[in-house]
Chains A and B, each alone.
Chain A
Amino acid sequence: GENVEQHPSTLSVQEGDSAVIKCTYSDSASNYFPWYKQELGKGPQLIIDIRSNVGEKKDQRIAVTLNKTAKHFSLHITETQPEDSAVYFCAATPFSSNTGKLIFGQGTTLQVKP
């Protein structure tokens, strides 16, 4: 069935270090992969997304890479800052549904220590 595995579940880094979160999806037909950041008491906020025809996408300190063969995609945050501390979710759209359905990973709690 449709499934997205996300690792690690928690990640603690020093301010200025890089953070990497990895996800694996099961549906080989998935074609859209967003990443969301959720702060306490708020809804998920889209931070970056990538489509299956692209291998890498960058936006300032954030980058996402996609390996379609291995069905992996990763979020990279460089020069982390305390305000990056939050829960991060990866997701995939199963192509078969072709509707507004996202399958989410279990989330990664990122803590950036000053």
Chain B
Amino acid sequence: KAGVTQTPRYLIKTRGQQVTLSCSPISGHRSVSWYQQTPGQGLQFLFEYFSETQRNKGNFPGRFSGRQFSNSRSEMNVSTLELGDSALYLCASSPYRVIGSETQYFGPGTRLLVL
């Protein structure tokens, strides 16, 4: 099976712009989670989507949003970019959520640089 894919892999934006990142989960996986990774804060949970519904959200401002499509692909959007949004954004997918299906598989990430 193909793994989790994320596009684009690298992105450079300027402050105030907005950005959309895309994630395609492993075939058959229905849950997609997003994380932000920075040297200072480490890996932090952004949100999770399952069956096109956001089921959980981390402690990030409303500028960070996401959605999931009927084919389980997901996008996240960051509006009004700030310098501190520079990070590696990781997407992870999980199988259908019954007990014991918490295992998450990560994609390679999108590295965002805000200038």
Binding site for B on A (CB under 8 A): 32, 34, 36, 41-46, 49, 51, 89, 91, 93, 97, 99-107
Binding site for A on B (CB under 8 A): 4, 31-33, 35, 42-45, 48, 50, 55-56, 58, 90, 92, 94, 97, 100, 102-109
Check if B109 sits within 8 Å of A43, measured CB to CB.
yes
Q: A100-B48, A106-B42 are in contact. List 5 more A-B contacts (CB 8 A).
A: A32-B102, A43-B107, A99-B97, A101-B33, A104-B44
| With A43-B90, A44-B90, A106-B42: A100-B105 Cβ-Cβ less than 8 Å | no
10 examples of A-B residue contacts, CB within 8 angstroms: A43-B4, A43-B107, A44-B43, A44-B90, A89-B42, A99-B31, A100-B55, A100-B104, A101-B58, A104-B43
Q: B44 to chain A: which residues have CB within 8 Å?
A: 104
Check if A46 sits within 8 Å of B42, measured CB to CB.
no
- CB contacts between A and B, total, < 8 Å: 65
**In the complex, A24→B48 CA distance in Å?**
24
Q: How far does the Cβ of A13 sit from chain B's closest Cβ, in whole Å?
A: 23
Check if A107 sits within 8 Å of B42, measured CB to CB.
yes
Q: B92 to chain A: which residues have CB within 8 Å?
A: 100, 102
| With A100-B33, A100-B94: A89-B56 Cβ-Cβ less than 8 Å | no
**In the complex, A71→B103 CA distance in Å?**
20
Check if A46 sits within 8 Å of B105, measured CB to CB.
yes
Q: B4 to chain A: which residues have CB within 8 Å?
A: 43
Check if A45 sits within 8 Å of B106, measured CB to CB.
yes
**In the complex, A103→B102 CA distance in Å?**
13
Q: B56 to chain A: which residues have CB within 8 Å?
A: 97, 99-101
Nearest A residue to B32, CB-CB = A100
Check if A51 sits within 8 Å of B50, measured CB to CB.
no
| With A100-B31, A100-B94: A51-B45 Cβ-Cβ less than 8 Å | no
**In the complex, A10→B44 CA distance in Å?**
20
Listed from nearest, the 5 A-B pairs whose CB atoms lie closest are: A100-B48, A43-B106, A104-B43, A99-B56, A100-B33
**In the complex, A78→B105 CA distance in Å?**
24
**In the complex, A106→B38 CA distance in Å?**
10
